[in-house]
Structure 1
Amino acid sequence: MSKALERRAKFREELIQAAERSIAAGGLAGLKTRELAREIGVANGAVYNLVEDVDELILRVGSQTLARLDASLTAAESNGPASPRETLVRIAVAYCDFAAENLELWRALFEHRMAPGKPVPEWAISEQMDLFRHIYHPLAELFPERTPAELGVTARSLFSAVHGMVLLGLEQKLIAVPVDALRKEIAVIVGAMVDGLTPPVVPGKRSVTRDP
């Protein structure tokens, strides 16, 4: 790599880290490229030699947030033996904890909107969708008779329910719920949802599974 490319890569990384700190401190509304440029020691216009636009900058910060969320969910899954039901409860609670500990960065994942007419890049969509494996795999163990498409719908529905609870529970308004209480409620409700989706076992009757 040439010196010029090395220098550009260094400033690009510093820009993304500075943007992450800015969002963590004040949310998306506090993100100002002029301030970021000053922080990393480049001209304001040079920012757009490092990233295509503000959308890409926010998505790159989001990529780092998703990577940390992925690590948190993986750690929750790996915390000792667990049934598929317990795994789903663990990752739901871990999701709540991550959101509470990284509130503005977590909010930015969902608050950011691309410029009108500009699609979300495929690499960003792929990173987002990859996280659903944490929900999909235990669901596949619980419901081996369901098709991949059916499991995908169930995974997204379960995520939507947990995300909605976390979003409302962490709102800094009258509806806010203490994090400890929110964690307990999420554990109870996710467990109840999984139990409700699981058909009762009929003595002497074997379940029918489909070939993949």
Structure 2
Amino acid sequence: MTKALERREKLRAALIRAAERMIAERGLAGLKTRDLAREIGCANGAVYNLVADVDELILRVGSRTLLRLDDALTLATSAGEPSPRESLARIALAYCDFAAENLQLWRALFEHRVQVDKPLPDWSVHDQMQLFRHIYQPLAALFPERSPEELGITARSLFSAVHGMVALGLEQKLVAVPLPALRKEIAGLVRAMIDGLVACDVKRSGGG
């Protein structure tokens, strides 16, 4: 690697870290390329020699957030009782805790929208989809008769339910819920959903 290329990569990494700090402090709406350029010591226009556009910069920050979330969910999976039902409850709680502790970065994952006709880069899609394995694997153990497509739909449905509770519960307005109460409700929801799905499968198979 030439010195010029090495310097560019270091400056690019510094830009992404600076954007991450700015979003964490100000939220997505507070991300300003002029301020970023000043912080890393380059001209404003030089930012676009390091990333293609603001979309890429936000997605790069998002991938860093998703990687840390992945680590948190991995830890939750192995942190207690090995039953799939309880693993899913712990994963949901870890998701809630991560969102509460990284509120602006977590919000940015969902607030950012690229243009309709602009596809997401493969690396960004991969980083997002990787997280679903944490939900998919316990569901596959609970429902071995279900097809991969069915399990995928159930995983997305379970995530949507938990995400909705977290998003509303952490909203800093009238619907805000104290974190301990929110965690209790989320764990109860996940267990109730799993129990209901198991009961439905038993009934459908003629076991009850």
Q: Distance in 2 between matches of 1:162 and 1:44?
A: 40
Write the deviation string for residues 64-101 of structure 1: whole angstroms up to 9, x where unpaired.
00000000000001113420000000000000000000
Structure 1 partner of 2:47: 47
Structure 1 partner of 2:128: 128
Structure 1 partner of 2:89: 89
Greater per-residue helix proportion: 2
Deviation at 1:121, TM superposition (A): 1.1
Structure 2 partner of 1:26: 26
Secondary structure of the residue aligned to 1:199 is helix
Would you say the 8 A contact 1:162–1:186 is kept in 2? yes
Cα RMSD over matched residues? 1.6
Structure 1 partner of 2:181: 181
Q: Distance in 1 between matches of 2:157 and 2:97?
A: 20
Structure 1 partner of 2:197: 197
Q: Which moved more, 1:76-85 or 1:102-111?
A: 76-85
Deviation at 1:200, TM superposition (A): 7.1
Structure 2 partner of 1:168: 168
Would you say the 8 A contact 1:18–1:36 is kept in 2? yes
Is 2:61 aligned against 1:61? yes
Would you say the 8 A contact 2:80–2:87 is kept in 1? no
- Structure 2 counterpart of 1:14, which letter? A
Secondary structure of the residue aligned to 1:176 is coil
Relative distance call for 1:36 and 1:201 in structure 2 (3 A) is: closer
Would you say the 8 A contact 1:55–1:115 is kept in 2? no
Q: Distance in 2 between matches of 1:116 and 1:197?
A: 35
Would you say the 8 A contact 2:19–2:57 is kept in 1? yes
Q: Which moved more, 1:188-197 or 1:107-116?
A: 107-116
Write the deviation string for residues 7-59 of structure 1: whole angstroms up to 9, x where unpaired.
00000000000000000001110000000000000000100000000000000
Would you say the 8 A contact 1:24–1:102 is kept in 2? yes
- Structure 2 counterpart of 1:74, which letter? T
- Structure 1 counterpart of 2:172, which letter? Q
Q: Distance in 2 between matches of 1:13 and 1:123?
A: 17
Structure 2 partner of 1:210: none
Identity %: 73
Flag as ranges the 4+ runs of structure 1 deviating above 3 A: none
Is 2:68 aligned against 1:77? no
Q: Distance in 2 between matches of 1:12 and 1:200?
A: 51
Deviation at 1:116, TM superposition (A): 4.5
How do residues 110-125 of structure 1 correspond to structure 2 at under 5 angstroms? Answer: 110-125=110-125
Deviation at 1:118, TM superposition (A): 1.2
The number of equivalent residue pairs is 205
Q: Distance in 2 between matches of 1:200 and 1:164?
A: 23
Deviation at 1:157, TM superposition (A): 0.2
TM-score between the two structures when normalised by the length of structure 1: 0.93
Q: Which moved more, 1:113-122 or 1:42-51?
A: 113-122
Q: Distance in 1 between matches of 2:82 and 2:175?
A: 33
Return 5+ residue gaps in structure 1 as ranges. Answer: 208-212
Q: Distance in 1 between matches of 2:109 and 2:196?
A: 30
Q: Distance in 1 between matches of 2:9 and 2:110?
A: 27
Structure 2 partner of 1:103: 103
